[in-house]
Structure formats: structure tokens, C-alpha cells
Amino acid sequence: MPVLYGLGWLLVRPLGSIAPSLRPDQVDLAGAVVSLVLLLLSLPLRLRRAWGVVHPWRALGVMAPPDAILGAFSRGLLRALVLLALVVGALLVGGSARWIGPAALDGGEMLNALALVVGVGFAEELVFRGWLWGELQRLAPPRGALLLQAAIFALVHPWSRAGLVGAVGLLGGLILLGLNLALLRRDDGGVLWGAIGLHGGLVGGWFALQAGLVELLPHAPFWLAGPGDSNPNPIGGLVGWLGLGGLLLVRRRQRL
């Protein structure tokens, strides 16, 4: 993965000269897209050679019967909506946010939110709950692989920019999210689309909320809205922790 990401980064460097109007973050985004394409092209070969599987996309949980894909994706998306509703509800009740409503969202923002649901959800889940977790399961006991994939998932995100307390909150929330995503895939019989729905739903749903559905007030506490100042991440706040921890607790009781 580091090699593929580095190749994607190098291949798009000329874009800065070809199109000077592009911002550095847009060039970096193009590099991430190229890296994803390289991953999609090389991953089947990797799985056939190293994992010894005949059907790589089935082993990753991407290919499955249509009803299994739709059911898993719907359940994951529903969990994301419940978690976001808890966060928004707490902010509104606490007087830290103001509801604006769907009329404030334009078509472009809605398309952007939908693209985040599918794009970010698919790309990150393919890497972390598809490829990485599969590799770790071949190197470590099941529980160790589960915990390690969640830790790596959390560490590669920009959690350290939020200050000491915020970084601890965000890192803990990311670990809880990584555990939930992996266990959701396991509960879905290996189908990856439930994790894609949960992950993408959280990212796209929070974008839609911030884009116009809800206005966060300046005095909104970071421990409730999440660390990140003007762009908070709710999974690093108290409600995010409680919601993600509650999902783990409910799953554990159901299995008992």
C-alpha cells in the first residue's frame, strides 16, 4: 500500500504544472484516486498469489449475491443514520446547534454527500476491512488481527492535529469505529457492503449536515460536537463514543 500510494502521488505531480489553477489538495486527491485504481488492478493478483484464493473479489467481500449486498448496505447505512441522529439530537437539545432543514442543501452538495458515501466508504473499507484485515488474519490470532486493524485504521487518520485531549478523543473514536466496521463485516458473513454503508453513511451524512442541514453554534463544546474546531469529527466526542460503544455492547449481548 505505501508503494501504491507513493506511485499515485508521483504520477499526478505534473498536474500542478499542467493546470496551475488546481489547489494542492486537489492534486493530492487526484493522486489518491490513481492509487485506488492501481490497487484495484493489482489486488486480485496479490490475493491469488499470497492468499491462494480463486475468486479475489468474493474473498474481499465485494462480490456477493445482490440481495446480500443490498441488505448489508442498508443495515450499515441505517446504523450510520442512527449514530448521526444521536449526535445532532444532543447538539440541538444542548443548545449547541440550530436546525435549518433540507431546503438549505443544493443539488451539488447532495451529489457530493452521495459521492462520499460510496467513494470514501468503498475505498477505505476495501483497504482496511478487506485487504488489511485479511492480511493480518494470516499473521496473527483472530482477536489480535481484529484489534490491530482497528489500531492501524485509527493511526493513519489525522488525529494528532486536534490537541492533546481532542487527539485522545478522536483516536479512541476511530478505534471504536474500526472495531464496529470489522465486526459488522463478520456478522454479514464476510460481505463488505455493510461496513461500506456504515462508514460512508457517517462521512457523507455528516458532510450533508454541516453543508446546510444543521448550523453548529460557536459555543458548541468540542467534547460534544467532536474535536476539529470549525470542522469537528463527531466520533471523537462523547456522544460518538457512547454510540459506537453501545453498538459493540448490543452486538456482544446478541451473540450471548
**Domains held by the chain: number:** 2
Q: Are residues 124 and 248 in the same domain?
A: yes
* Tens-place pLDDT, residues 174-219: 999 999 999 999 999 999 999 999 999 999 999 999 888 898 888 8
Q: Are residues 28 and 139 in the same domain?
A: no
Q: Are residues 142 and 234 in the same domain?
A: yes
Q: How confident is residue 112, by pLDDT bands cut at 50, 70 and 90?
A: confident
Q: Contacts by 90-97 with C-beta closer than 8 Å and gap 24+? A: 90/224, 90/239, 91/214, 91/216, 91/220, 91/224, 91/225, 92/214, 94/224, 95/217, 96/216, 96/217, 96/219, 96/220, 96/221, 96/224, 96/225, 97/214, 97/215, 97/216, 97/217, 97/220, 97/225
Q: Are residues 48 and 116 in the same domain?
A: no
For the cut 60, the answer to whether the pLDDT of residue 74 exceeds it is yes
Cβ atoms 212, 105 nearer than 8 A: yes
Q: How confident is residue 104, by pLDDT bands cut at 50, 70 and 90?
A: low
Cβ atoms 180, 198 nearer than 8 A: yes
Lowest mean pLDDT among 62-71, 99-108, 142-151, 233-242: 99-108
* Final residue before a domain boundary, out of 59, 75, 91: 59
Q: Are residues 79 and 3 in the same domain?
A: no
Question: 0.75 cut: is pTM over it?
Answer: yes
Q: Are residues 42 and 129 in the same domain?
A: no
For the cut 80, the answer to whether the pLDDT of residue 45 exceeds it is yes
Q: What is the pLDDT of residue 219?
A: 83
Cβ atoms 193, 129 nearer than 8 A: no
* Final residue before a domain boundary, out of 59, 86, 107: 59
Greater model confidence, 21 or 61: 61
Q: Are residues 212 and 117 in the same domain?
A: yes
Q: Are residues 68 and 181 in the same domain?
A: yes
For the cut 90, the answer to whether the pLDDT of residue 6 exceeds it is no
* Final residue before a domain boundary, out of 59, 87, 108: 59
Q: Are residues 99 and 177 in the same domain?
A: yes
For the cut 60, the answer to whether the pLDDT of residue 255 exceeds it is no
Q: Got the DSSP string for 135-167?
A: HHHTTS-HHHHHHHHHHHHHHTSS-GGGHHHHH
Cβ atoms 216, 97 nearer than 8 A: yes
Q: Are residues 210 and 190 in the same domain?
A: yes
Q: Got the DSSP string for 38-65?
A: HHHHHHHHHIIIII--S-HHHHTT-S--
CA 170 to CA 174: how far, in whole Å? 6
Q: How confident is residue 153, by pLDDT bands cut at 50, 70 and 90?
A: very high
Where in the sequence is the domain holding 8, given as residue range(s)?
1-59
Q: Are residues 85 and 178 in the same domain?
A: yes
β-partners of residue 40 are none
Greater model confidence, 98 or 105: 98
Q: Are residues 114 and 195 in the same domain?
A: yes
Q: How confident is residue 254, by pLDDT bands cut at 50, 70 and 90?
A: low
Mean pLDDT confidence for 78-106: 89
